[in-house]
Amino acid sequence: MKPVVVARTGHDQTNQWTVHMQNKPTAPFRPHPRREWHLRPRLVRVAFAIAAALAAAETNAKTYCAHTASELQAALSEAGSAGTSNNQDNTIHVTSGTFTTSGAPFFFGTVSGFALTLEGGYNGTCSSQNLTPGVSVLDGGNLTQVLSIQTNGDITVRHLTIQNANYGGSAGGGAAIALNNANATEIAIFDSNVVRNNVDSFATGGLTIFGNGTAYIENNLFVGNSSPAAAALSTSLTVGTVYITNNTISDNTNTGSNNMITAIGGAGAIGHVSNTISYGNHGTGTYDFYLYGFQSVDFVHNDYTSITGTQAPGSSGNFIAVDPKFVSADDFHLRSTSPLLGAGTLTPAGGLPVMDIEGHARSFAGQVDLGAFENIDYIFANGFDPD
């Protein structure tokens, strides 16, 4: 039997961590994919330490430390269907530096049903992590797509910069994630990444997630991407749910006409967009969000200019074409005078992220900002102490 830690969530009114014993020796440890944790930062750090210790003790899981582009692809291959680690959950830690593709994107493919976590920001021994954006960079060299993932297991991608793709296909310029489990039980988490300066001459410039399952897209910065279709981001889930929470989408360009920056679609899926800024994007007749094939997409506490499609009932608290007052053209923190400070919802569908893109607490004193960056300077100036 193995221990699984379950953290207190908004649905659990106790103040204790509980440990359950599961008599499933072949099933690897999987923390719950997403929950809104109402915990102060010190308790969060303790929780993460407990989970990490248990994960390290799990014999049916492997952790890789990638220092070069060749080591990264080797780890992805070994964790994939043809590799020796394809029968277990795997984690790949990416160290600091720039990892440039060589004629093809970094690729992971599996039909085993096991999970992969791909996470950047680590030092040379992978013993500590720096959550500052830009520490670990995956670069297409303006020649290839950057990252391609095809899986029927859970996938997590976080704390990476994905940049400089040049692609002409339908499955995403910068990164593409295909969820191939027909039962729609997969979970994709794309969290705290920078997706920038990616070009697709056919379809989506930045990120594409498609297939069946649940997708959490949160705390990301999409900037400088371009395509004639969805310049920044597209989701197309035949069955499942997509949560787009606390993202900043700016300075992306649709090179077509009367087309979108972000597309949210799928014949039988549900969408939720919360605490997200889509502002300052470009193109002739461009609109921020395009809703296609969805029966239900709600927008709660966002800032955008226009939507093509009908929002679901319950949409509320949105700002229309309000200047976020970014610090500068290439600094997407909010100024202390931004009307979007503290303007988010603490209870978005899918749960509020624990941290922002830089590892700061996502909310303070009962307030949360819109976008990927929580304004720490403003918080300290008003006398709030996160600890």
Q: What is the pLDDT of residues 102-159, one digit of tens each?
A: 999 999 999 999 999 999 999 999 999 999 999 999 999 999 999 999 999 999 999 9
What distance in Å separates the CA atoms of residue 91 and residue 363, rounded to the nearest whole number?
A: 28
Residue 45, pLDDT above cutoff 60: no
- Say what the pLDDT of residue 385 is: 41
Residue 67, pLDDT above cutoff 70: yes
Lowest-confidence segment of 33-47, 240-254, 288-302 by average pLDDT:
33-47
Token pair 């500590």: residue: 128
Here the tokens at position 142 are: 């303006």
Residue 169, pLDDT above cutoff 60: yes
Residue 381, pLDDT above cutoff 80: no
- Say what the pLDDT of residue 386 is: 39
Residue 209, pLDDT above cutoff 80: yes
The segment with the largest mean pLDDT, out of 43-47, 54-58, 253-257, 380-384, is: 253-257
Mean pLDDT of the chain: 85
- pLDDT > 90 in the chain, percent: 73
Note whether 220 and 195 are within 8 A (CB).
yes
For the chain, the structural domain boundaries read 1-59, 105-121+137-381
CA dihedral 161, 167, 169, 175 (to 10 degrees): -10
Question: Which of 274, 291, 281 is closest to 347 using CA atoms?
Answer: 274
- pLDDT > 70 in the chain, percent: 81
Mean pLDDT of all residues in 178-187:
94
State the pLDDT confidence band at 295, using cuts at 50, 70 and 90: low
- Give me the half-sphere count of Cα atoms (radius 13 Å) on the Cβ side of residue 158: 22
Q: What is the pLDDT of residues 258-271, one digit of tens each?
A: 789 999 988 788 99
* CA distance readout (Å), 80 to 88, 107, 108, 113, 257: 10, 9, 6, 10, 40
- Say what the pLDDT of residue 268 is: 80
Q: What is the pLDDT of residues 1-28, one digit of tens each?
A: 433 333 333 333 333 333 333 333 344 4
Give the number of other CB atoms < 10 A from CB of residue 111: 14
Is the pTM higher than 0.75? The answer reads: yes
- Say what the pLDDT of residue 36 is: 40
Residue 50, pLDDT above cutoff 80: no
Helices and strands, counts by H and E, the chain = 3, 33
- Say what the pLDDT of residue 315 is: 95
- Give me the half-sphere count of Cα atoms (radius 13 Å) on the Cβ side of residue 364: 22
Helix H or strand E segment including 75:
helix 69-79
Give the number of other CB atoms < 10 A from CB of residue 99: 24
Helix H or strand E segment including 54:
helix 41-57
Mean pLDDT of all residues in 251-264:
92
Q: What is the pLDDT of residues 352-369, one digit of tens each?
A: 999 999 999 999 999 999
What distance in Å separates the CA atoms of residue 371 and residue 278, rounded to the nearest whole number?
A: 9
Lowest-confidence segment of 23-37, 44-58, 96-110, 266-280 by average pLDDT:
23-37
